[in-house]
Amino acid sequence: MFLLFGRVNDLNGQIDLYQMDHMPEIKLYFEQSNWDELLDSLYLLGAEYRLGADVSIDGTMYKKVGVRYKGFSSYSSTRDKNPINIDLDYVFSEQTHQGYNKLKLSNVIQDPSFVREAMTYEIARKYMPASKANFANIYINDIRIGVYTNVEAVNGTFLDKHFKSSNNTFVKCNPETINLNGANANLHDTPGTSLDGYYSLYDMKSSNYYDWDSLYHFIDVLNNDVSSIERVLNVDRTLWMHAMNYSVVNFDSYIGYAQNYYLYKDQNNQFNPILWDLNMSFASYRLTDASDNWDGFSIEEAKTIDPLQHLHGFSIHPRPLIRNVLENPIYERMYMAHLITVIEENFENGWYETRGGEIQSFIDGAVLADTNKFYSYNDFQNNFDTTISDLIDYPGIVDLMEARTNYLMSLPGVSYRPEISNVEVINVDALSGDSLWINSFVKGAVDKVYLAYRFSDWETFKVTEMFDDGQNQDGASADSVFGGSIPFTSNNVQYYIYAENDSSGRFSPARAAYEYYEHHLPIKEMDVTINEVMSQNAIEIDEFGEFDDWIELHNTTEYPIALGDLYLSNDPSNLTKWVLPSVFIGANNEFVVWLDDSVQGTNHANFSLADDGAIVWLAQGNGKVIDSVVIPSQYGVTSWARYPNGTGSFQEMIPSFDAKNAMKENAILTDQVFIYPNPSGGTFRVKNNCEFVSFFDIYALDGREIRQNNRIEAGETAMIELVGLSEGIYLLEFAIKGKNFTKRIMITH
C-alpha cells in the first residue's frame, strides 16, 4: 500500500520509519542522570564506545540499545542538541525496528530551512541508491530535545537492499581528521604503495582479509590504468554522484574536500560510490580546493560554479574520480546529460519549490516548539526563499536554484542535445534465446546511438551500437529510426538508449542506468529443469532448523533466467499453485525451493510431497508446462536427481543440495550398501541397497568391537550414532546373503 510520501510497512502495519509525512517519536531512557556528560566523554574515546539505554520508537520499546554522539562540526560538548547514533542491536543481536538496526539522527545545524538534507536525499533516490530520510521528535528521559533529521544508515541492511550483498569491501571515505590543506579521501595514490599510508584517510567498514588490498587496487587502476576503469568502478553511478553534488552545490563531499561518501564493491567487482551527509547542500558549505575557488566561494559564485571545474581547471589536490573519469569525452557528455536531468526534473519545472513547501508545512509546528534549534523560527520560515545571516550566510534555496538552473541550462551544448522517442521492441513474439530487436527515433544532430542491455539486476550493462542504415530492422536508411539487436536474450531483458553528438548526450529513459526499459520473453521448454528432489529429507536443514522436502531447479541456458513468471505445483488441475519468487537463476546455476506447505519465506512453497511418491510440474502462467518429474518413494538420505546434471534422466543419487549433480564415488547408488555422510561428526546413515536383509558390525582399527549384529531390512535405511568416539577411521563389516564386505567410515570433530 503506497501513501503520498512513503509506504506502510507490510510486516506489521506500521508506517515506515522514514516516511516523509510521518514524524517518528523517539524517546531515549538512560539510567544515569549525568548521561550527557558520559556521552561527551565517550565521544572523545571513539566511535566504538556507547552508553546503554532503552528506546521507545513510536511507542514500541527496545531494551539495552547503544547510544553515542556522532558528527564532526555538528557536535559540541556545550550544545544541548547533539547528533545521535543508536545501535538497536547493541546487546540483542537480532533486535531491529522494521528491519533497521541503527538510527542516525542529525541535529539540523547549518540549515535554518530544515529541508536541505531530507529533500536532497529524496532527489538523489530518483537516480541512485541513497538513504531514506525524514524528521523525528527526540526525547531523553521524557524531556523534549527537539526536531532531528532521521537518516537511514548506510550499513549492511542498506547494502543488502540495494546490492543484494553486504560482505564485500565497504569503505567510508572520511579521513580521521579533515585537513583543509590536505588530500583527504580523494582516491589519489599519493600515499604510495604501502597500505599504511591509507589507513588514516579511509574508514574500512568491512573485515575481510583482502579489503585494503582491494581498495588499493581500485585506487591504482583509477590513477594509472584509467582505460580499464570499468573493470573496477561503476562509472554511471559515479557520474550520477557528481551530477547530484554539482547540481545542488553540495561541496561538503568529494568535490569539495574529498569526504562524506561511501564505496561498496558489488558482485561484479565494481566499486559503487554512495552519497552521505547532505545537510550542507544548497551551498551551505562553500569551501573547495579547486584552483578557481581555493579560498572558498560566495553565494553569488555558487550560482555559477562550473560543473567541470576539476576537469577544466587545476585541483590543488588531485580529484581522480572526477578528472581521470571525465577525461573520457563520452563519460563527460554522459555526466552532463545526468546533471541536466537532475535540473530538468527537480528545478526547472519548479518541483523543489512545491516539495520544499510541503515539507516545511508538515514540520512547522514541531520546529516552532523546538527550543534547542540553532536558528529562529523566522529564519526557518524565510530561509527556503532568501538568504539568512548567522555566523555565515545561508543561501535562500529558491534564490540560489533559480539562478543556478538558468546558468546550467544555458551551458554550451544543452540546447543541441539529441531527442530520443518511440523506443519499442520490434519482434515482440521473440522467445528466450532469440535475438531481440529494438527501434528508436532519434532526432537532431547525432554522431552515435548506443543500446545498453543486461538480463538481470546483478549484471553490468553490455553496450552495442544502433544504426540508421536500413539494415538493422530500422526501416529506411537515414530516416532517423535507429535499430539494434540484443543477442541470445534471457526471458527478462533490461535496456536503455544513449545518443550523443560532439557536444552533448541524452539517455532514454532519462534516469538510466538506474532506471531502464524492461521486456519479458516466454521461456522455452527445458530452459529451466527440475534437477533434484528430496521428498523424505533427513540431510538438509532449512533456515528454521527443519528437515523439509526440497526441490532444486536448474537453468540449462547460457544466460540468467527470471523465475517470477514460473509456477510449481503438485496438482495437475492447478498448475499455477505456487508462484516462484522474483529472483534470477544464473546461467547453468541452481535454485532451491523448500516444499513445506508454509509461508516461512519467499523460497518456501505452499505444498509438500507425499512420502510414497508424487508428481511435480514447473509451468508458466499460461499453463504451458516447462518440465515435470514423477518422484518415486524415497529414503531420507537419497535424492531423485538428473544425471548428467540438468539434462539427464532421473535416478537415485546421494544429494547434492544447491550444487551440480556430479559423478563421484557412490554418487549414483549402485553399491549394495552405502554410507552418508562420510566423514561425519558421529551420525551416519546406512542404506541397504539390496533385496536381502543386511547385518553389520563396527570395529576400531585396533580390533575393538564397537557395535555388533545390527540389522537393516532390504531397501531400508538405518541411523548409526557414534557420537563420543574419538576422531579416526572405523570399519563397518557387512554380511549380505553369506558374503562379507568392509567399508571405512571416518569420524571428525
Q: Domain coordinates of the chain in residue numbers?
A: 164-352+375-409, 423-519, 528-653, 673-747
Model pLDDT, residue 653? 82
CATH architecture of 423-519: Sandwich (2.60)
Cell digits for 48?
566504538
Q: What is the pLDDT of residue 679?
A: 79
Say which amino acid occupies 276. W
What's the confidence (pLDDT) of residue 737? 66
pLDDT, tens only, 531-564: 999 988 877 888 888 888 999 999 999 888 999 8
**Half-sphere exposure of residue 538: CA atoms within 13 angstroms, side-chain side:** 17
Q: What whole-number distance in Å separates Cα of residue 308 and Cα of residue 408?
A: 11
For 178-226, the DSSP string reads --TTS--S---STT-S-GGGGTTT-EE----TTHHHHHHHHHHHHHH-G
**Whether 496 contacts 401, CB under 8 Å:** no
Q: How far apart are CA 313 and CA 323, in angstroms?
A: 10
Q: For residue 204, give Cα distances in angstroms to 207, 211, 233.
A: 8, 8, 18
CATH hierarchy code of domain 528-653? 2.60.40
Q: What is the pLDDT of residue 4?
A: 33
Convert the pLDDT of each residue in 80-136 to its tens digit.
Answer: 999 999 999 999 999 999 999 999 999 999 999 999 999 999 999 999 999 999 999
pTM for the whole thing? 0.85
Strands (DSSP E) found in 516-575: 517-520, 528-534, 549-555, 561-562, 566-569
Residue 514 confidence (pLDDT): 97
- Supply 445's cell numbers: 544532430
Nearest to 304 by CA among 413, 397, 411, 392: 411
Q: Which helix (H) or strand (E) holds 523?
A: none
CA distance readout (Å), 331 to 264, 274, 417: 21, 19, 15
List pLDDT tens digits, range 352-379: 999 999 999 999 999 999 999 999 999 9
Topology given in CATH for the domain delimited by 673-747: Immunoglobulin-like (2.60.40)
- The pLDDT of residue 22 is 96
Please give the C-alpha separations between residue 292 and each of 297, 306, 324, 363, in angstroms, as whole numbers: 9, 10, 19, 39
3-state secondary structure of 133: strand
Cβ proximity of 11 and 98 under 8 Å: yes
CA distance 607 to 578: 8
On the 0-12 / 13-18 / 19+ scale of CB atoms within 10 A, 686 is buried
Same fold, 528-653 and 673-747: yes
Which residues of the chain fall below pLDDT 70?
A: 1-13, 635-636, 663-672, 737-738
Identify any residues that bridge with 171 across adjacent strands, giving them in sequence order. 204, 263
3-state DSSP percent of the chain in helix, strand and coil, to 5: 20, 30, 50
